Amino acid sequence: MNLKVGLLGGGSWGTTVAALVARNAPITLWARDQNTVLEINEDHTNRKYLPDAKLPPRLVATNDLEEAVAGMDVLIVGIPSQSFREILNDIKNHVRPWVPIVSLSKGLELSTRMRMTEIIKDVLPEHPCGVLTGPNLAREIMAGYAAASVLAMEDEVVVKKLQKLFHSGLFRVYTNHDVMGCELGGVLKNIIAIAAGMGDGQGAGDNTRSAVITRGLAEITRLGVAMGAEVQTFSGLTGMGDLVATCTSPQSRNRSVGYELGKGRSIKEIIDEMFMVAEGVKSAPAVMSLADEYQVEMPIAREVYGVVQGESSAKRAFRGLLRAGIGSESEPG
Condensed to tens digits (0 to 9), the pLDDT of residues 92-127 reads 999 999 999 999 999 999 999 999 999 999 999 999
Q: In this structure, are 284 and 300 located in the same domain?
A: yes
- Name which residue leads in pLDDT, 271 or 294: 294
Q: Read off the pLDDT of residues 166-212 as tens digits, 9 standing for 90 and up.
A: 998 899 999 999 999 999 999 999 999 999 999 999 999 899 999 99
Band of residue 2 on the pLDDT scale cut at 50, 70, 90: confident
* pLDDT tens-digit map of 266-279: 988 998 888 777 78
For residue 319, what pLDDT is reported?
Answer: 78
Among candidate residues 177, 208, 225, the one where a domain is terminated: 177
Tell me: pLDDT of 326 over 70: no
290 and 208 inside one domain: yes
For the cut 90, the answer to whether the pLDDT of residue 71 exceeds it is yes
- % pLDDT > 70, the chain: 96
Single residue among 134, 151, 177 that ends a domain in this structure:
177
Chain segment 42-53, per-residue pLDDT in tens: 999 999 999 989
Does 173 share its domain with 245?
Answer: no
Give me the number of domains the chain comprises.
2
Same domain, 239 and 266: yes
Task: Report whether pLDDT(15) > 70.
Answer: yes
| Half-sphere exposure for 273 (CA within 13 Å, toward CB) | 9
Rounded CA-CA distance 290/309 in Å is 17
**189 is a catalytic site residue:** yes
The H-assigned helical ranges of 202-324 are 206-227, 242-248, 253-262, 267-272, 279-293, 299-308, 314-322
Gap between the Cα atoms of 253 and 190, Å rounded: 9
Q: What is the pLDDT of residues 206-231, one digit of tens each?
A: 999 999 999 999 999 999 999 999 99
Looking at the fold, whether 88 and 11 belong to one and the same domain comes out as yes
| Domain of residue 49, residue span | 5-177
* pLDDT band of 327, cuts 50, 70, 90: low
Q: Is residue 304 a contact partner of residue 284, using CB atoms and an 8 Å limit?
A: yes
106, 121, 164, 189: which is the annotated catalytic residue? 189
CA angle 182, 185, 186 (to 5 degrees): 90
